[in-house]
Structure formats: C-alpha cells, structure tokens
A = this chain, B = another copy of it.
Amino acid sequence: MEIKTVVMEIPEGANIIIGQTHFIKTAEDLYEVMVNGVPGIKFGIAFCEASGPCLVRAEGNDNSLKEVAIRNASNIAAGHTFVILIKEAFPVNVLNSIKACPEVCSIYCATANPVQVIVAETEQGGGILGVIDGYRPKGIETEKDVQDRKHFLRNIGYKL
C-alpha cells in the first residue's frame, strides 16, 4: 500500500465538497440536492463508479465546474467517492441536504481553502484517508479576536 497526496483544483470563488457514497444514482441525486438547495447555484459533480465499467460519472449545470469536478475525481481515483464544485452558493447552504442524500456515507471536507487529499493506493484500487483543508493554526484567539469574530458574523448577517 502506498499513501500519496492529491492536490485539488479549486477555481477562484468556488467551494469544494468531497465525500463517500455508494451507488451510480448518486450523480442524479446530488444534482437534485443542488438545484433543490439554492436558486441560481452553479455546480459540477463527479462520482467514481467502483465496479463494472468504472467510469467517472458527472452531472451539473455549469460545464466548467463539471470539468473541474471530473479532473479532481479522476485524480483522487477512489471507488465510490464524489467531488462537488459550487459557485454562487456556499457549503453551509447545501451540506445538510448532501448528508441526507440516501446514498451518501460521509463528507470528508467542504471548503474554499487549498485542499490536499490523502489517498491510499493498493493493487485493488484507491481510498481516501483524509484531507488537508487549508492551513494549520497559528495561534489561539484572544478576547479581542472573539469580539471580532462575533462582530464579523453579525455584520454579514449570519447572527443577530
């Protein structure tokens, strides 16, 4: 077994969501989750079929994001994993609906940060072990940082 890191391609202004699922129906079901979630969302989905023809299956309403999702999924190359790229919406808008999709097992990450996916490779195939999502902490917030954090969330309207 070999363990390698695969760098995700994330277009400017996009977020990436990576997860584990278990059925070819995922491509259509996640498409519906996206369009149900946010009017005007732009997205691409790619899913690594893990038996039979073993194709990277893809859906979406934005060709560019679909292409990026396909490239990322192809590079991860792990059976039954999926990659979603979204614009004009944020993971917080759709994550609970993805988690509730009846084929989805779990979500590895949802982020606009640089992402490295840690992949195990055996003779049989590949599997995601984890992700490096952005950067490691540089410090611990002070009382001032706490206040700034609260003001920030209230300024952008997420909290009252």
Residues in A lying within 8 Å of B, measured CB to CB: 1, 3-5, 20, 22-25, 27-28, 31-32, 35-39, 48-51, 53-59, 61, 70, 73-74, 77-80, 88-93, 95-97, 99-100, 102-114, 116, 118, 120, 122, 124-141, 145-146, 149-150, 152-153, 157-160
Q: Is the CB of B97 within 8 A of A102?
A: yes
Check B113–A55 contact: CB distance below 8 A. Answer: no
How many subunits of this chain does the assembly comprise? 6
Smallest distance from the beta carbon of A38 to chain B beta carbons, Å?
A: 5
Whole-angstrom CA separation of A55 from B139 in the bound complex? 5
Q: Are B135 and A127 in contact (CB under 8 A)?
A: no
A-B contact pairs, 28 of them (CB 8 A): A5-B122, A22-B91, A23-B90, A24-B149, A27-B149, A32-B159, A37-B37, A39-B93, A48-B137, A50-B133, A53-B138, A54-B136, A54-B138, A57-B146, A58-B141, A59-B160, A61-B157, A79-B133, A95-B102, A95-B105, A96-B102, A97-B102, A118-B120, A120-B130, A120-B132, A125-B134, A125-B136, A126-B136
Contact A160 B97 (CB under 8 A): no
Who on chain B is nearest to A48 by CB? Answer: B137
User: What's the nearest-Cβ distance from chain B to residue A108, in Å?
Assistant: 7
Asked if residues B120 and A109 are in contact (CB atoms below 8 Å), the reply is: no
Contact A92 B125 (CB under 8 A): no
A104 to chain B, nearest CB (A): 8
